[in-house]
A = this chain, B = another copy of it.
Amino acid sequence: MTEGVVYVGQKPVMNYVLATLTQFNEGAERVVLKARGKAISRAVDVAEIVRNRFLPNVEVESIKIDTEELESEQGRKVNVSTIEIVLAKKSE
């Protein structure tokens, strides 16, 4: 069972859609979209576009949210929210 990961950041949403499609085409059964902070909305867009527009046989298997503690440049601790969206091929 191959599993891929796509880190969703600040680039245009279609970059990440393409990365996800590529991983499924190369045989991944499951692709995990990971994002934090403001990129979280974009990760949801990626999941929805992949599913609705390109791969109807892929479904959202699970969604997990969490908090990570980062250190800012001034050495201050900052909490940032994270999301993990697991996309998986439907078993037929």
Q: Which residues of B contact A48 (CB under 8 A)?
A: 65-67, 79, 81
Q: Which residues of B contact A65 (CB under 8 A)?
A: 44, 47-48, 60, 63, 85
Could you tell me how many residues of chain A have their Cβ less than 8 Å away from some Cβ of chain B? 20
Contact with B along A55-88 (1 / 0, CB 8 A): 0000010011111000000000001010101000
Q: Which residues of B contact A60 (CB under 8 A)?
A: 65
A87: shortest Cβ distance to chain B, in Å? Answer: 11
| A15 in contact (CB, < 8 A) | no
| A45 in contact (CB, < 8 A) | yes
| Residue from B45, B47, B52, B81 within 8 A of A44 (CB atoms) | B81
Give Cα A79–Cα B79 distance, bound, in whole angstroms: 30
| A38 in contact (CB, < 8 A) | yes
12 contacts between A and B (CB under 8 A): A37-B41, A39-B41, A40-B40, A41-B41, A41-B81, A44-B65, A44-B81, A48-B66, A48-B79, A48-B81, A60-B65, A63-B65
